[in-house]
Structure 1
Amino acid sequence: MRRRTMLVGAGVIALAAAISGYRHRLPGFDPVIPAAPTGDERVEQRRSIMRGKTVDFYTAVPAGYGDGKGLPVCLVLHGGTARPADFPRLGFGRFLTDAVRRGAPPFVLAGADGDRLAWHPAGGDDPQRMVHEEIPLWCVQRGFDVSRRALWGWSMGGYGALSLAEAFPAWASAVAAFSPAVQPGDDVFGAAGQLRGSPVGLWCGRQDPLFGNVTALQKVLPEPIAAGSYTDGRHNMDYWSRQIPAAFDFVGRRLGRL
């Protein structure tokens, strides 16, 4: 099983690398950022035992909610290019405030650097366990309510969010995946039944090279998707930024129900 996981992870890394190259050959992949203000937004360094190194740890609280104590958490799994240090520039804190101002129940964002390992273990480096076991502890230290948690990721991180939700059924109250780097026959397809009872949102651009894979995944999910759309767009931040408002509305509603 571990060898199969390593082989699948290597396949996803290769796929993500190919998609990343495709992304950078396209014009117009700057994010579309709302004018809303940021709240308490930080990039700190934390020592990860699971990864065996110090990693960047990003958090964002919507403006008007102080340091975010008592708020539920959406865990962020990045793709093959952007890292937590890039999240402020990509406007994630502004998107969060905008979602809350539009009526979404408030929540915080939290994510750490998982490198390019497709959120699977490689030797002694285990970014998936970092997300499952360490980031919640770091969030508790900040006073966030980790009993209410959701997952959001794009590209390689969308694959990682789905894989994590399958590995720990019902651990997350929602999974939002943008253009997840999945392919038929990988572990996400093989364990799709584990997502029963976990609301899933899927978004993918129709011009994305992963579009066929994502729609094929939707067909094997045990339940209809709870949110998402397939509209014109490619595999880039321009497309993903236009989907963030809908995804944050979805995540906020799910976290606000608990």
Structure 2
Amino acid sequence: MRSLSRRTLIRTGVAAAVTGVAGVVALETGVVPGRARVHDVLGLTGPDGVVPDVPAGPVESGTFESFGRRTTVGYSVIYPHGYAPTAELPVVMVLHGRGGDHTSAINDLGIDRYLTAAVQSGTPPFALATVDGGPDNYWHRRGAGEDPGFMLDQEFLPLLANRGLNTERYGLLGWSMGGYGALLWVALHYWQRRVRPATRAVAVGALSPALWRRFEDTTPGAFDDAGDFENSQVFGRRSGFRDVAVRIDCGRDDPFAEAADELRAELGAAGGLQLGAHTAGYWRRMLPDHLRFLGVQVTG
């Protein structure tokens, strides 16, 4: 068997190197799918957030019959450790992601312990209120008549006020589908801050919000049709975010990263792109920053 010459070996090595570089460039530019998977294997998506080793506070759960959702809706109110369920705290409504419900914030993210950790680290105390928005309706009014926005405004906020929580200055927090829903709520309810200034959203935090620029790119079922998509846009509605503090964060390997960064720039919002993908590990890592941001805003 004839041995390879030194020149052949050099040429082969150069070709392999060029091919390798070209492959990396293709992955990084999105020409080749699977960049997030490759980055995860290489440890380039950043560490997963670790739920703090602190005690959880009280959690009060219940249900109510929702006219807006046309069904029985579950909810939970989460308090930081050391505060009773009767504490008159400011509140942040938490909107879950696709396929989730009011239990997801605790079961998937450990948000009850993150809340305690935030307060123990000096953030002014506040409560979190989670509610069922439907597994895949994307938190906006649908043609079939279901309206999560009506539920939040006309049913859930009054319920929280009746429980003794301070809804004069409330916030919203959501991830993925819920991140989009939280932003949409603020964009469409600017009138509320004028008509009912005593009860108004003052801050919104969105983690990896599910944002699309074209109807053709959307997840099937997220919108009824192209008209519904246009009516439910958050881009181009900067006036709706007036007087509201906004934070938007997204992982660089997240399919929504480009749109999230565009909206952040359009609104002049806080946040940015970090190492990460569309995963619970990334959302847990970013929760401390969002809870600190929201806690400062809702407590004035």
TM-score, length-scaled by structure 1: 0.83
Query: Rg larger in 1 or in 2?
Result: 2
Q: What pairs up with 1:44-193 in 2 under 5 angstroms?
A: 44-89=62-107, 90-115=109-134, 116-122=136-142, 123-169=144-190, 170=193, 171-184=200-213, 186=230, 187-193=233-239
Q: Partner of 1:4 in structure 2?
A: none
For residues 124 and 248 of structure 1, the distance between their equivalents in structure 2, rounded to whole angstroms, comes to 33
Moved more, 234-243 or 183-192: 183-192
Structure 1 unaligned blocks of 5 or more: 1-21
Deviation at 1:110, TM superposition (A): 0.6
In structure 2, the CA distance between the partners of 1:62 and 1:192, relative to structure 1 (3 Å rule), is: same
Deviation at 1:141, TM superposition (A): 2.4
Deviation at 1:152, TM superposition (A): 0.5
Deviation at 1:65, TM superposition (A): 1.1
After TM superposition, where is structure 1 displaced by more than 6 Å over at least 4 residues in a row? 26-30
Q: Does the CA contact (< 8 Å) of 2:264 and 2:272 recur in 1?
A: no
Q: Deviations over 1:46-92 (max 9, x none)?
A: 21121111011011000111114310110011110332123332311
Q: Does the CA contact (< 8 Å) of 1:69 and 1:145 recur in 2?
A: no
- Cα RMSD of the aligned pairs, angstroms, is 2.1
Q: Partner of 2:280 in structure 1?
A: 237
For residues 174 and 41 of structure 1, the distance between their equivalents in structure 2, rounded to whole angstroms, comes to 23
For residues 51 and 241 of structure 1, the distance between their equivalents in structure 2, rounded to whole angstroms, comes to 29
Q: Does the CA contact (< 8 Å) of 1:61 and 1:68 recur in 2?
A: no
Moved more, 71-80 or 88-97: 88-97
For residues 68 and 240 of structure 1, the distance between their equivalents in structure 2, rounded to whole angstroms, comes to 29
Q: What pairs up with 1:178-217 in 2 under 5 angstroms?
A: 178-184=207-213, 186=230, 187-217=233-263
For residues 49 and 68 of structure 1, the distance between their equivalents in structure 2, rounded to whole angstroms, comes to 27
Residue type of the partner of 1:194?
Answer: G
For residues 250 and 149 of structure 2, the distance between their equivalents in structure 1, rounded to whole angstroms, comes to 23
Residue type of the partner of 1:178?
Answer: L
Structure 2 unaligned blocks of 5 or more: 1-35, 194-199, 215-229
For residues 30 and 113 of structure 1, the distance between their equivalents in structure 2, rounded to whole angstroms, comes to 26
For residues 125 and 206 of structure 2, the distance between their equivalents in structure 1, rounded to whole angstroms, comes to 20
Q: Does the CA contact (< 8 Å) of 1:69 and 1:142 recur in 2?
A: no
Residue type of the partner of 1:172?
Answer: A
For residues 73 and 191 of structure 1, the distance between their equivalents in structure 2, rounded to whole angstroms, comes to 25
Q: How many residue pairs were aligned?
A: 231
For residues 105 and 210 of structure 2, the distance between their equivalents in structure 1, rounded to whole angstroms, comes to 20
SS of structure 2 residue aligned to 1:103: coil
SS of structure 1 residue aligned to 2:276: coil
Q: Does the CA contact (< 8 Å) of 1:184 and 1:217 recur in 2?
A: no
Q: Does the CA contact (< 8 Å) of 1:51 and 1:130 recur in 2?
A: yes
Q: What pairs up with 1:17-32 in 2 under 5 angstroms?
A: 32=50
TM-score, length-scaled by structure 2: 0.72
